[in-house]
Amino acid sequence: MARPKPTVIVTRKLPDVVETRMMELFDVNLNVEDKPFSGDHLAAAMQTCDVLVPTLTDHVNKAVIDRAGPRLKLIANFGNGVDHIDVAAARAKGISVTNTPDVLTEDTADMTMALMVAVPRRLLEGATMIRDGQFKGWSPIHMLGRRLYGKRLGIIGMGRIGTAVARRARGFGMAIHYHNRRRLRPELEAEVEATYWESLDQMLARMDVISIHCPHTPATFHLLSERRLKLLKPTSYLINLARGEIVDESALVRMLEEEKLAGAGLDVFENEPAVNPKLLTMKNVIVLPHMGSATVEGRINMGERVIINIRAFCDNHPPPDRVLPPTP
């Protein structure tokens, strides 16, 4: 006799191929309208399912987890970051949490390099000038930007994505520096010719470009505080495709207004989806709608990892991407 299929609730619209495969394997409730769940809706869903598949727009905090029913045993997150899930509260209630690491690494690294080129070379300004009919012809001093070749790149968070960015940046002739909780293995450090800085402050003061790739945790909230932002050179650029809360956005805006920074490329924001309106008017800033990992291939790969985690868990095997609470 076949075992009953687990009841799975998916909180957002996923690629059709992923949803179709889920329908074949599980008893699934899909969010066809792609309307984000409210807190009460989320809590109600967690009272009736075996597996919840949330995304970064769902705030699965302790209060919501405490309202979960006894059936819920797995939160299979569609995404790598789990800062929107109280993993410790879930574990205390006997609920496992998984994520989808690795699959978005290359896509996010590609977008990082796109912003790293686009901001100093003023690509958005140039494209806007053409669209607005303002291009009057070439001149020797027209639309001058800054080259990447020979510049120093400081990477904050040298995990999978940070390392992938380092490999790409080496191809642009940049010198790689990084700050991380742990120093890389010597062979990996040598591969990307990276210089390790134990002191974030010391690294910030010497870089031409800063790229953020660390997770958002209580320890990294406003890691780039106003004090640290003031350490940056006025000719430097800030790129952020990690989480907006890592940067004191108000302080960043002030420094850009006062020309104490050369520019910024931002795919994430502190109060997302709200964006500080001042950022929208700055010519030396490119803002994107959290699309760093947004490729068809990447989203399908993420869905496949979610399915693998659910199947492993329901077959009484350890899910490959289980997330544990951070150590104190």
- Catalytic annotation, pick one of 243, 249, 299, 305: 243
Domain that holds residue 195: 105-287
319 domain residue, yes or no: no
Instruction: Report the distance separating Cα 53 and Cα 22, nearest Å.
Output: 11
Instruction: Report the distance separating Cα 179 and Cα 66, nearest Å.
Output: 37
Report helix, strand and coil shares of the chain as percent, to nearest 5. 35, 15, 50
Calculate the CA dihedral of residues 153, 157, 160, 164 and round it to 10 degrees. Answer: -10
Shared domain check, 265 and 164:
yes
The secondary structure element, H or E, covering residue 263 is strand 263-266
Asked if pLDDT for residue 1 goes beyond 90, the answer is no
Shared domain check, 110 and 99:
no
pLDDT confidence of residue 327: 62
Reported as a single tens digit per residue, the pLDDT across 216-272 is 989 999 999 999 999 999 999 999 999 999 999 999 999 999 999 999 999 999 999
Shared domain check, 217 and 142:
yes
Q: From the centroid of its chain, how far is CA 154?
A: 17
pLDDT confidence of residue 3: 73
Which of 268, 172, 278, 287 has the alpha carbon at shortest distance from 220? 268
Shared domain check, 241 and 129:
yes
272 domain residue, yes or no: yes
45 domain residue, yes or no: yes
* Beta-ladder partners of 10: 53
Q: Tell the burial category of 100 from Cβ atoms under 10 Å away from its Cβ (0-12, 13-18, 19+).
A: buried
Please provide the average confidence, as pLDDT, over all residues in the chain. Answer: 95
Shared domain check, 24 and 169:
no
Shared domain check, 135 and 20:
no
Shared domain check, 218 and 119:
yes
Across the range 128-138, mean pLDDT stands at: 95
Total tally of structural domains belonging to the chain: 2
- Residue 12 known to be catalytic: no
- Catalytic annotation, pick one of 152, 290, 311, 322: 290
- Residue 222 known to be catalytic: no
Asked if pLDDT for residue 279 goes beyond 80, the answer is yes
325 domain residue, yes or no: no
Q: What is the CATH classification number for the domain harbouring 21?
A: 3.40.50.720
In the structure encoding, which two tokens stand for residue 326, read together?
A: 């951070």
C-alpha neighbours within 13 Å on the C-beta side of residue 203: 24
- Residue 71 known to be catalytic: no
Please tell me what DSSP assigns to residue 115: H
68 domain residue, yes or no: yes
* Order of all β-strands in the sheet with 7-10: 27-29, 7-10, 51-53, 74-76, 96-98
Residues 6+ apart with CB under 8 A from 277: none
323 domain residue, yes or no: no
1 domain residue, yes or no: no
Shared domain check, 133 and 65:
no
Of all residues in the chain, what percent carry a pLDDT higher than 90?
95
- Catalytic annotation, pick one of 146, 272, 304, 311: 272
Reported as a single tens digit per residue, the pLDDT across 24-70 is 999 999 999 999 999 999 999 999 999 999 999 999 999 999 999 99
62 domain residue, yes or no: yes
- The single-letter code of the amino acid at 303 is G
Shared domain check, 185 and 97:
no
Shared domain check, 137 and 87:
no
Asked if pLDDT for residue 328 goes beyond 60, the answer is no
Shared domain check, 131 and 252:
yes
Asked if pLDDT for residue 2 goes beyond 90, the answer is no
DSSP E strand boundaries for 25-166: 27-29, 51-53, 74-76, 96-98, 152-156
Shared domain check, 83 and 58:
yes
Asked if pLDDT for residue 194 goes beyond 80, the answer is yes
Across the range 183-200, mean pLDDT stands at: 96
Instruction: Report the distance separating Cα 30 and Cα 14, nearest Å.
Output: 9
Asked if pLDDT for residue 81 goes beyond 80, the answer is yes
Reported as a single tens digit per residue, the pLDDT across 300-310 is 999 999 999 99
Instruction: Report the distance separating Cα 56 and Cα 154, nearest Å.
Output: 27
